[in-house]
Amino acid sequence: MQKFNELNQHCPVCGYDFMPEPGFYQISLFITYAFGVALFVVFGVLTYLIFDEPTLWHYYLMIFIPALLSTPWSVRYSKVLMLYAFVWKGKA
């Protein structure tokens, strides 16, 4: 079973190497962080609007559960965005 943080070594179609240089995907952590902050803000505001007077536990449940469930998606797609943003399209 493949872990959510791992990528294929090479493209199965064209053989492109998905690791342009060592440590390339470390910058994707900043994109993951931005996804997390956006998620916290959206679900925090929704919690405030949905519940009359939300307690701290309402915020915990309504923010951290979606954040934990979306972590694999966020990590994978931040790496995809890194490839789209920083790899020259003509190399493949």
Q: Please indicate, yes or no, if residue 54 is contained in any of the structural domains.
A: yes
Domain count, the chain: 1
- Average pLDDT of span 72-88: 85
What's the pTM? 0.75
DSSP code per residue over 33-64: HHHHHHHHHHHHHHHHHHSSS--HHHHHHHHH
Q: Please indicate, yes or no, if residue 82 is contained in any of the structural domains.
A: yes
**Residue 11 has what pLDDT?**
80
Tell me how far CA of residue 24 lies from CA of 8, 58, 70, 85, in angstroms. Answer: 14, 38, 22, 12
Q: Please indicate, yes or no, if residue 1 is contained in any of the structural domains.
A: no
Q: Please indicate, yes or no, if residue 80 is contained in any of the structural domains.
A: yes
- Average pLDDT of span 51-70: 92
Mean pLDDT of the chain: 85
Range of the structural domain that residue 70 is part of? 25-86
Q: Please indicate, yes or no, if residue 16 is contained in any of the structural domains.
A: no
**Residue 85 has what pLDDT?**
84
